[in-house]
Amino acid sequence: MIHSLFLINSSGDIFLEKHWKSVVSRSVCDYFFEAQERATEPENVPPVIPTPHHYLISVLRHRIYFVAVIQSEVPPLFVIEFLHRVVDTFQDYFGVCTEAAIKDNVVVVYELLEEMLDNGFPLATESNILKELIKPPTILRTMVNTITGSTNVGEQLPTGQLSVVPWRRTGVKYTNNEAYFDVVEEIDAIIDKSGSTITAEIQGVIDACVKLTGMPDLTLSFMNPRLLDDVSFHPCVRFKRWEAERILSFIPPDGNFRLLSYHVSSQNLVAIPVYVKHNISFREGSSQGRFDLTLGPKQTMGKSVEAVLVTSQLPRGVLTANLNPSQGTYTFDPVTKMLSWDVGKINPQKLPSLKGTMSLQAGASKPDENPTINIQLKIQQMAISGLKVNRLDMYGEKYKPFKGIKYMTKAGKFQVRT
């Protein structure tokens, strides 16, 4: 299936390659580099690139392209899912998935790739199994391996590999038994000049950190499960139970994992958390432009909007921006023409505003179009879709675990047109 894997950094250098079936020349990546040049943004590179003899399937994570080389037709999502699993494994092992971390742990990286793919086909992709096969690197273990010449490869086969629950190792023991769930939602929206919503959708995930002794069986129910659309589950979830009762029933992996991801695309279910009042204008024949922007909370159920950052790509003709923020700080880069306003937390009693003038080049014509405003924000203890966990129950073990649920909403691609 997968013949080779190339890791390419943001500068376009191939810093790691791995081959399974046969050695594929690096020159195959020239097709990828051509597609990269044609793309306006790094994330706009096509995920599947056909070449005369191969298919290149890639994902971009942490400013690194993971490019898989395929010789025969394969479902692309199958390969993309595997590449994301590789990135998640590196992150789990090294804490971060960066070029420096991969180069520092290159031996472990090759050992992991050897176990995750067998002759080009996915084999062991579960974190618990991999950690029994190849121990995560520590400073002490690295020193011992350097002195003794030994490796991180485990001496025994993992017990979970042959069980019906391969994602959970046997004999797990904890003094404190706890299960935490984070409901994180990202809102993508485009708001037009008059404040009407053009498009709005929510991408949500439920991330779990489960540290429970033995082999617990958990059920998680929601107040309003019908909200969830286009749901993708971890393999541990019993799908038939979800289809019949809309209840998540599962034996959890040990440690951190993503229980499910979902999508809410119905616009009437998507609440817009902030509103923007704006007046950005340029007069014909004048070297001055006016900039007036005010932010306010909207449909936040009383929760405060935090970590607000407003960015806007101003027209090329703008030389300087002389603005006065009522809250936070702003910066304007005269080279890239990027305006950035770090607002912080929105106080509903005193709405933050940014007002002032912009200087245009002498003799420059009025800009053809007004700039768009991009907003980043966070709202703690709230899922913007209204999703709420009803209860979490445990069966199969006698102890009482500590349980916690946390909600968070943040902006994905949130754009306001002026």
Please identify every stretch of the chain with a pLDDT value under 50, giving residue numbers as ranges.
Answer: none
Tell whether 412 is covered by a domain: yes
Domain tally, the chain: 3
Domain co-membership, 253 together with 373: no
- Domain boundary pick from 130, 148, 166: 148
Tell whether 166 is covered by a domain: no
Segments forming the whole domain that contains residue 344: 274-380
| CA nearest to 219, candidates 244, 242, 240 | 242
Length of the chain: 418
Q: How far is CA 1 from CA 9, 76, 82, in A?
A: 24, 11, 12
Q: What pLDDT, on a 0 to 100 scale, did the predictor assign at position 137? A: 79
| CA nearest to 418, candidates 160, 191, 118 | 191
Q: What pLDDT, on a 0 to 100 scale, did the predictor assign at position 146? A: 63
Domain co-membership, 16 together with 89: yes
Tell whether 219 is covered by a domain: yes
- Domain boundary pick from 110, 130, 148: 148
Tell whether 153 is covered by a domain: no
How far is it, in rounded angstroms, from Cα 407 to Cα 389? 10
The DSSP 8-state label assigned to residue 26 in this structure reads G
DSSP letter string, 197-252: EEEEEEEEEEEEEEE-SS--EEEEEES-GGG-EEEEE-TTB-HHHHHHHSEEEE-P
List the CATH number of the domain containing 391. 2.60.40.1170
pLDDT tens figures, 172-189: 899 999 999 999 999 999
pTM: 0.81
How far is it, in rounded angstroms, from Cα 358 to Cα 319? 7
Tell whether 155 is covered by a domain: no
Tell whether 323 is covered by a domain: yes
Q: What pLDDT, on a 0 to 100 scale, did the predictor assign at position 233? A: 93
Q: What pLDDT, on a 0 to 100 scale, did the predictor assign at position 393? A: 94
Tell whether 163 is covered by a domain: no
Domain co-membership, 265 together with 348: no
Q: What pLDDT, on a 0 to 100 scale, did the predictor assign at position 85? A: 92
Domain co-membership, 235 together with 288: no
Name residues whose C-beta falls within 8 Å of residue 168's C-beta, 6 or more positions apart in sequence.
128, 160, 215, 236, 251, 252, 253, 254
Q: Which two tokens stand for residue 259?
A: 């229980």
Name residues whose C-beta falls within 8 Å of residue 395's C-beta, 6 or more positions apart in sequence.
216, 217, 218, 219
